[in-house]
Amino acid sequence: MAEIDLLRALPKGKRNVQARGTAKTPEHIRISREYGQVYFDGPREYGYGGYRYDGRWQPVAKDIVAHFGLKPGDRVLDVGCAKGFLVKDLLALGIDAFGIDVSAYALMHCEPEVVGRLHLGSAEMLPFPDESFAAVFSINTIHNLPRDRCLQAVRELQRLAPGKGFIQVDSYRTPEQKEIFESWVLTAMHHDYPPGWIELFGDAGYTGDWYWTIIE
């Protein structure tokens, strides 16, 4: 188990934290947690403000292949795959990639290359046999579950690829970062400082790697 930034090649987005903090209401949170059209492709105050493929995941796909020592034909699973951008870029590298997501909207608006490879479902109940993937990763997803279900999701990742997992979750290292995060977040139902997350990973018997999404 180790802390490693597999998303270091992603461009850093600009977030108007002050505007989100002012606009965020219980209704914004409720609608965002439906993970439908408004969350992905509606106004920015409800989520992404337009979730479109632009190739930014290509270097991340290469880093994932290198980190796990993947070979062409190896099976991997992206838990929380959304429209399948990372799955698409892994397929282009010869990896036998699949995805799963709770959003029917995202799956119905996926990239053409991944049609038939994305499944509708939740991270806490992954419909695949034990040890059936060479690597499993979940990027900015499992924190959208309450802690007990988050714990079960981590157990599921471990079950499918023991020691070959990567999880990135919302976190913060200082009280100031925590305050910024809480003014911005719409969908996360469980969040913590890194030691709290590491304790959760240990409770789940997780032996893979991890990293944090920190808003600054």
Q: Please state the length of the chain.
A: 216
Q: Output the pTM of the full model.
A: 0.93
Q: What is the pLDDT averaged over residues 9-21?
A: 64
Question: Residue 31 belongs to what domain range?
Answer: 17-213
CATH of the domain at 183: 3.40.50.150
4 within domain boundaries: no
Position 133 scores a pLDDT of: 98
62 within domain boundaries: yes
- Tally the domains of the chain: 1
Closest CA to 126 of 94, 149, 92: 149
- Looking at residue 118, its amino acid is L
Position 1 scores a pLDDT of: 79
103 within domain boundaries: yes
pLDDT in tens, 25-64: 899 999 999 999 999 999 988 999 999 999 999 999 999 9
6 within domain boundaries: no
199 within domain boundaries: yes
Q: What is the pLDDT averaged over residues 106-114?
A: 97
Distance CA 56, CA 72 (A): 21
